Structure 1
Amino acid sequence: MNLINKKVTHKSFGTGSIVKHNETSIEIHFASENKKFVFPDVFEKHLKLHDPSVANTLEKIIQDKEMERKEEERRKEEEKKILRQNHELRLEHEKLMKNHKLHPESQMVFWCDEEEQISSLSEWKVFSGEIKSGNNKGKPNKPIRLHQNSAVLLTAVDSSVPEKDRRILGVYMVHENFIGKLCEDGFIPAHSKYKLQLTEQESDQLLFWNYYVNEKSPDKMTWNTGKYRYFDNVWMAQILRDIASLKTDPMEQELAQQFFKHFCKMNKILAQELPEPNGALKRM
């Protein structure tokens, strides 16, 4: 927009003509001297163009700039809001970490259907399902017992075989920053390092019910409802120890051993005092 030589009137300096301008400043020659002003801000209150068509065009520019300014203010305010929210989440996270008490059954076993057998091992996460009734119906379940000491065991059983033949497919520690009480979407992601997948042959040798038992009905091996169950920290340690003993590939074996040691440390379990499995299958 060319404003050179355009006539203007300033509230304090009177009539003059524009001699220079760019995107941020404008210089005007008045009767006695030249003055520089901020462009286009000076036109909002102090300066008026004589040419009405140019004035209309400039007014549009001023309006657009004002909209940009407001949008920038809105964006900055939104950034501040996000920073405040993140700060509050960090404080809550730190508080939960500081006050966390180790629950003796803070591990999760997950029932994988055919589709989940693939997705859980490729994406390394599971979904805790939705609440079935009440005011929160349809919202994701919060896996409130899961903390940084927790692992998720992936299991499956073919429809053609009994529940007692449920196999272990893999296992992972929850993500380093995961806290079940803060989980809003129901997804439980894996640790960046500690995750293990079993081969089909290894899986056939690790049956879930060798480790798990319902103490109220120790002779029963049933799983009628629900995608997951919480279970004993010691049972998960037994499973990890046995996975490490099954692995023959040197790299996988090393990772499995590191996983087992890390898990025992996080759950205050002495590996040398770990008992042998005594699940429902072992009691038959």
Structure 2
Amino acid sequence: MNLINKKVTHKRFGTGSIVKHNDSTIEIHFATESKKFIFPDVFGKHLKLHDESAANSLEKIIQQREIEQKKEEQKKEEEKKLQRKKQELRLEYEKLMNNHKLHPKSQMVFWCDIEEQSSSFSEWKVFSGVIKSGTNKGKPNKPIRLHQNSAVLLTAIDSNMPEKDRCILGVYMVNEDFIGKLCEDGYIPAHSKYKLQLTEQEANQMLFWKYYVNEKSPQNMTWKTGKYRYFDNLWMAQILHDIVSLKSDPTERELAQQFLKHFCKMNQITEQELSKPDGALMRI
């Protein structure tokens, strides 16, 4: 829009002529001096165009500018609300962290069916299942014991094999900011770094019942129902220790060692003082 030489009237400076303008400023020559103003903000309250056609076109520009400004203000307000929400979540998270006490059995062992044996490693997450009865029937289970110190052990067994032959397929720490109490969808995602998958040969050497024991019936190896069990932090450390010994590839062994070190730190376990596995298989 070309406004050069258009006549205007300013409330304070009187009548003048536009000599320069761009998208952000406008310069007007009055009787004794030239003045620069912010464009198009100066129009309306302070400045009036004499040319009616140009004034109508300018009004449309101003209205469009106001619409864009309102959108920008709304966007900024939404961003502020989002930041406040993130801050509230962060404060809630920090409060939970500060008040969190390590549960001695805050690890999870998960029973992978045929489909999950593949998806658990391609997606690196498991689903805790749904509540079977009560007022919350059908809603996802909240893995309330799981916290940043927790790991998920993935296990499986062939349908024609006895329960004592249940093997360990892999293991992962939960995601860095995962808190079971806040989990609404039942999915337990893996840590970005600490996750290990065993080869078939390795899995056959890592039998779950070597480490796990039912305290009420120490020699009984039965799973019965449910997709997962909570189990002892020390047992998970023993499993990770044996995975380190099992890995022959230098890169995988190093990652397993870092995993074990991180896990022991998060669970306040001294690696050098780990006892030998004493699960149900070891008591036969």
Task: Give the superposition deviation at 1:177.
Answer: 3.2
> Any residues of structure 2 matched to 1:32-111 within 5 Å, and which?
32-111=32-111
In structure 2, distance between residues paired with 1:258 and 1:27: 67
The Cα of 1:217 is off from its aligned counterpart by: 4.7
Distance 1:138 1:60 in 2: 55
Counterparts of 1:39 and 1:209, CA distance in 2: 77
Matched, 1:29 2:29: yes
What is the CA distance between 1:154 and its match in structure 2? 0.7
Residue identity in the other structure for 2:274: L
Q: How does the TM-score come out when normalised to structure 2? A: 0.86
Provide the rounded CA distance (Å) in 2 between the counterparts of 1:42 and 1:135: 63
Q: How many positions carry a matched residue from both structures? A: 283
Q: Tell me if the contact between 1:23 and 1:39 (Cα under 8 Å) persists in the aligned partners.
A: yes
Extract unaligned runs of 5+ from structure 2: none
| Per-residue Cα deviation, 1:84-131 (whole angstroms, up to 9, x for no partner) | 222233323332222221101100111222232222223322233344
Classify 1:131/1:5 alpha carbon distance in 2 versus 1 (closer, same or farther; 3 Å): farther
Aligned residue number for residue 223 of structure 2: 222
Contact 2:15–2:30 (CA under 8 A) maintained in structure 1: yes
In structure 2, give the amino acid aligned to 1:6: K
Q: In structure 2, how many angstroms separate the alpha carbons of the residues matched to 1:141 and 1:186?
A: 6
Q: For 2:18, what is the secondary structure of its paired residue?
A: strand
Task: Name the % identity.
Answer: 77
1:145-224 equivalence runs, <5 A: 145-218=145-218, 219-224=220-225
**Matched-pair contact (CA < 8 Å) for 2:209–2:221:** no
Corresponding letter in the other structure for 2:50: H
Aligned mates of 1:27, 1:166 — CA distance in 2: 83
SS in structure 2 of the partner of residue 196 of structure 1: strand
CA contact (8 A) 1:221 1:280 kept: no
CA offset digits 1:125-161 (Å, max 9, x no partner): 2233344555655554332211222111011223333
Residue 164 of structure 2 contacts residue 221 of structure 2 at CA under 8 Å; is this kept in 1? no
Distance in 2 of aligned mates of 1:48 and 1:133 = 73
Secondary structure at 2:83's aligned position in 1? helix
Between 190-199 and 180-189, report the one with greater CA deviation: 180-189
**Residues in 1 aligned to 2:52 and 2:138: alpha-carbon distance in whole angstroms:** 61
Q: 1:261 to 1:50 in 2, by over 3 A?
A: closer
**For the aligned residues, what is the CA RMSD?**
2.6
> 1:16 maps to what in 2?
16
1:50 alignment partner AA: H
SS at match of 1:45: coil
- Please tell me the residue identity of whatever aligns with 1:221: T
Task: For 1:119 and 1:44, locate their aligned partners in 2 and report how far apart those are by CA, in whole Å.
Answer: 64
Give, in whole Å, the separation in 1 of the partners of 2:48 and 2:138.
Answer: 61
1:46 maps to a residue whose letter is: H
C-alpha separation between the residues in 2 aligned to 1:138 and 1:57?
60
Question: In the aligned structure 1, how far is the partner of 2:67 from the partner of 2:138?
Answer: 41
> Given residue 114 of structure 2, which amino acid in structure 1 is its aligned partner?
E
Question: Which range is displaced more, 99-108 or 157-166?
Answer: 157-166
Name the SS for the 1:195 alignment partner.
Answer: strand
Aligned counterpart, 2:248: 248
Task: Tell me if structure 1 keeps the 8 A contact 2:109–2:229.
Answer: yes
Moved more, 55-64 or 87-96: 87-96
Q: Kindly indicate whether the alpha-carbon contact (under 8 Å) linking 1:163 and 1:223 is maintained by their aligned counterparts in 2.
A: no
Structure-1 separation of matches of 2:138 and 2:77: 33
Distance in 1 (alpha carbons) for counterparts of 2:61 and 2:44: 11
Q: TM-score, structure 1 length as denominator?
A: 0.86
CA distance 1:26–1:95, change in 2 (3 Å): same
Distance 1:9 1:136, change over 3 A: farther
Sort the Cα spacing of 1:56 and 1:137 in 2 relative to 1 into closer, same or farther, 3 A.
farther
1:268 counterpart residue number: 268
